[in-house]
Amino acid sequence: MRRYFALIQLWFIKALEYRAELVVWAILTLLNTVILLAIWISVFRGQTSVNGYQVGQIMQYFLLVTVINGVTASHFEGWRSQEVREGKIDHYLTKPISYPLQVLLADIGNRLFYLTLILPITFLVYYVFSLSFNLGTVAFTPLVIAQFIFLLGVGYLIEFSCAMIAVLLSFWFEGAEGLEHFKWITISLFSGFMIPLEFMPGWLRSAVDILPLKYMYAIPIQVIQQRVTLRITDFMYIFFFLAVIFFFQRWLWQKATAKYTSSG
C-alpha cells in the first residue's frame, strides 16, 4: 500500500507544479456552472415551478452537479493517448505496478489537489446563491451520506474506466483521444449532468433508466434531495456493470501490451 500512497503523493505534488492551470480549470468550471444557472433561472422567470422543480431546487441541482463533477470527472485521455501513440510509456512499463493502476493512482493524486481548489469555491458559490434563493434543504443523515459517497465512488470509477478505455484503444486507433468527445456527449445526455431526469422526453428517460450512467449525477442528487433511496437491485446492477467494465479494461490491456512497440 505504501507505494500506492507514494504515487498518489507524487502526482499531488506534480499537480502543485501546474497549479495555475488547475486554477484556470476551476474558474472555467465555475463560470460554466454560473452560465448554466443563468439559463435555468431564465426558464423559471415568471413561474414558481416547472416540471415539479422550483427555481431553488434546480439551482441546488446544478451546484451539486459541479461538486460531483469536481470529484468524479477524469480528463487524462487526451495526453495519455498521445503518450501511447508517441511511444512514451516505456518507463511506466518497467515499474512493478501495472500501467492502468499507475494511471489510476496518478489521477487520484491530481484529483485530490483539484478538489482542494474546487470544493471551497463551490461551497462559497452555494452560500452566495443561498442568500438570494431558497435552495431547499440538503439531508445529511448517515444513510444519505453513505449512499452519496458510495455513488461518488461509482461515478468516479465509471468516468475513469471510460477515459482508460479511450487510452487503451489508442494502442490501435490514431484518433482515440477523440473518443473523449463521445464520452462527454454520452455523459451529458444520459447521466443528468446537463438535464435533470424530469425535463427529459419519454424516450430519453427510458434510455437513462436502462443505462448505468444515471448513477453518476441524477441518482446521487436525488439521494441528497431525498427523492430516492438506493435499493438492493441498484447495488446489484452497479456491481455487475463495474465488473463488466473492469474485465473489459483488463482484456484490452492484455491485448495492448502485445501490440505496443517503441524505440529508444
C-beta of 11: minimal distance to another protein in Å? 17
Residue 188 interacting with another protein (CB under 8 A)? yes
List C-alpha distances in Å: 108 to 29, 113, 163, 207.
Answer: 19, 9, 14, 31
- Alpha-carbon span 237 to 132, nearest angstrom: 40
Give the one residue of 6, 13, 16, 24 binding another protein; rule: CB under 8 A: 24
Per CB under 8 A, which region of 110-118, 152-160, 189-197, 244-252 contacts another protein? 189-197
C-beta of 178: minimal distance to another protein in Å? 6
Residue 203 interacting with another protein (CB under 8 A)? no
CB atoms within 10 A of CB 35: 10
> What DSSP string describes 40-60?
HHHHTTT-SEETTEEHHHHHH
C-beta of 157: minimal distance to another protein in Å? 25
C-beta of 50: minimal distance to another protein in Å? 5
Per CB under 8 A, which region of 2-10, 35-43, 111-119, 164-172 contacts another protein? 35-43
List C-alpha distances in Å: 24 to 19, 27, 115, 177, 196.
Answer: 9, 5, 14, 22, 27
- Alpha-carbon span 151 to 144, nearest angstrom: 10
Per CB under 8 A, which region of 155-163, 185-193, 208-216, 231-239 contacts another protein? 185-193
Please report, to the nearest 10 degrees, the dihedral formed by the alpha carbons of residues 18, 106, 221, 49 taken in order: 30
Q: Residue 139 in contact with residue 83, Cβ under 8 Å?
A: no
For residues 125-164, which are near another protein according to CB under 8 A?
A: none
Interacting residue ranges for another protein, rule: CB under 8 A = 18, 20-21, 24-25, 28, 31-32, 34-36, 38-43, 45, 47, 50-51, 174-175, 178, 181-182, 185, 188-189, 194-195, 199-201
